[in-house]
Amino acid sequence: MADALDVDINRDIDRRIEGLSAKQLAGQLLVVGYAGLEPPPELDAAIAAGERAGVILFRRNLSPGIAGLEALQGTTARLARRSPPGLPLLIAIDEEGGRVARLGAPALALPPMRRLAAVGDLDLVERVACAIGRELRCLGVTMNFAPVVDVDTNPDNPIIGDRAFSHDPALVAEYAGAYMRGLRAAGVASCLKHYPGHGDTLLDSHLALPTVAHGRARLESVELEPFRRLAGRADSMMTAHVLYPALDPDHPATVSTIIATELLRGSLGFGGVLFSDDLEMRAMDNLGGFGASALAAVRAGCDLLLVCSRADAQAEVHAALVDAIAADAGFRARCRQAARRALVLRRAFPPCPGSCDDFSALDRDLLGPLAAELARRDVA
């Protein structure tokens, strides 16, 4: 019976993807951000037309306090209800803890992952991730862009540092695996980042293109090792806008077929959804513009593209994808493959508006006691 149900679900997904117009197919590869507390009318219209796969939320999209969290519940519910039938919206956020946290009080305040892992308690990490997942689910969020699976080997790294669990690849894999289990238990999708490893860079890819110059053997044993161990269980991964000459001397990972397809899908055996990091980051500046970057990323193997801020960049990416889909049957087939992977994930973790009406009760019963435990264990 389960096999027959799976066949029916797969057939329905295939029919949905085959029935998309070029504009819809292009939009099903786009996850976008917006300015302000309310989504602009243009984004509402694009979601309703089936021309966006999801949204990513930032601190700029929330007002302070419990009133802000309750307002966010309303916003995510309205966004979710705008999606066409069969195309559930991905609603994502970066809620790692430490310096990368979008929610304010009374949401759970977490220490950086390195500090949490230093306690040496995998069960605690899993319980913390489950609590994060439950609060995100309550707020209408379906994906957390976490955990960080980078290996913290460079004390001068300006962007990773204590966001990573450890300098030991095996420990990173263990703690990231626990974090994944916790999120999944709460019904929230996870995302391993930043593939194939951003831990040993001297530049911030938001500002410039970093290089990891290690040889292949070192990359395999350190940077790639946690991704390899977790690839078979991962919902999704996110690329690093970083150059790895020993893997591909010409292309950053996000636009490298060698890294984003051959290595990831072949050697590592990953079958989930591959996100690009934000295409607005300065590391992508030399690729010919937002549209060119998007086409290169999809051709390389990215399934969903993040364009986190600018409406003009989102429009440029969408238009470039539409034109390429119309002109190139091979690219259209690749986009259908990407959209199918993404839709499988989105259906596995759909928005559930109204599933949690009282964030204050969640705070009282789960988040507050856990915060008190973290304080007692000196990791608050």
- Which positions are catalytic? 206, 277
Closest to 171 measured CA to CA, from 96, 238, 97, 119? 119
Least Cα distance to 191 among 56, 88, 36, 351 occurs for: 56
Whether the CB-CB separation of 261 and 227 falls below 8 Å is answered with: no
| Alpha-carbon span 14 to 202, nearest angstrom | 44
Q: Which long-range contacts (CB under 8 A, 24 or more apart) does 246-251 make?
A: 246/213, 246/214, 246/215, 246/216, 246/219, 247/196, 247/216, 247/219, 251/296, 251/300
Residue with tokens 């549209």: 291
